[in-house]
Amino acid sequence: METVSELGFWQRMATSQGLIILFFTSAGCHSCRIWRKLLTDYEATRSGLRVWEVDAGIDMGITQELNVYHLPALFLFRDGHYQRPIQVEARVHALDRWLTAMADQPAEEMP
């Protein structure tokens, strides 16, 4: 898992290939700690997937752009393009099934 900031974020995203899960978190969020462990383990087992973590309290520009109001918040990007929010239970098999099911779905508009 890589921590990213809003500085140069969209330029970097535009040149990224593969799947990226953008994970919004904060230091005091208990559910975020659960998701962080799950995503770290999952990223290590799935090729072509990277997880970028954004501290919602520090990088408020990206947080506001994606209309993040609750934490944790997760969004899927493919080849630098926004796909959709990720809304599944914090379980590896649920996330894996969801990503597989979304593989051929068209992108949604950014919030």
Residue 36's contacts (CB-CB under 8 Å, 6 or more residues apart) are: 1, 23, 25, 53
Q: Are 23 and 1 contacting, i.e. CB atoms less than 8 angstroms apart?
A: yes
According to the model, what pLDDT value does residue 104 have? 82
Max Cα-Cα span within the chain: 36
pLDDT, tens digit, for every residue of 31-57?
Answer: 999 999 999 999 999 999 999 999 999
According to the model, what pLDDT value does residue 73 have? 98
Three-class SS of residue 21? strand
- Confidence band for 75, pLDDT divided at 50, 70 and 90: very high
Residue 97's contacts (CB-CB under 8 Å, 6 or more residues apart) are: 88
Give the domains, in start order, of the chain with CATH numbers.
2-102 (3.40.30.10)
pLDDT, tens digit, for every residue of 76-110?
Answer: 999 999 999 999 999 999 999 999 999 888 889 98
